[in-house]
Amino acid sequence: MEGVEKTATIAVIGSPPTMISGMDPKSNASASSWALGKARAIMNESNLSDSSSLLSALQEMQSFFQQNSQEARRLLRPQLEQRLLECSSGVLHAFEDTQNSLKTLDQTVAQMKSEINAISKRLSDAKLGASTV
């Protein structure tokens, strides 16, 4: 089939599929470039190319998904779950100091509340004693 151009369909949620010429998702030789082209086409369609966080997320994903093979797709989920676990652990460690500060603040507020209640009781007792005189 000489002269026949291969195309790949890209579907973005909420929009019609887009055809990218020259890319065949089934060929292993261009699988990585196909996936990168697919991501770029999605970005171009959705006008999110100015988002630095999206670009950094796609670059991070590219490190996980370098080859479009069945084994790579099978291993992608556990790798992403491990990365999520590492990120979540990092967030927890980062907020330990904040949590400790909030606990200390909560204890201080509780202590102040009990002292204010004690002062209020003494004032009301003094007021009651003064009114009887």
Instruction: Report pTM.
Output: 0.38
Directed axis angle between helix 52-64 and helix 70-94, to 10°?
130
Within 13 Å of residue 104, how many CA atoms lie on the same side as its CB?
6
Tally the domains of the chain.
Answer: 2
Contacts 24+ apart (CB under 8 A), 56-62: 62/36
Please give the mean pLDDT across all residues of the chain: 75
pLDDT of 30: 56
Q: Which domain range does residue 130 map to?
A: 101-133
**64 and 1 inside one domain:** yes
Query: Cα–Cα distance between 10 and 44 in angstroms, integer?
Result: 12
- Flag whether pLDDT at 31 surpasses 70: no
**9 and 54 inside one domain:** yes
Compute CA distances 75 → 6, 16, 27, 57, 87, whole Å: 28, 29, 19, 19, 19
- Flag whether pLDDT at 38 surpasses 90: no
What pLDDT, in 10s, does the model give residues 52-61? 777 787 777 7
What pLDDT, in 10s, does the model give residues 60-88? 777 766 777 888 778 888 888 998 999 99
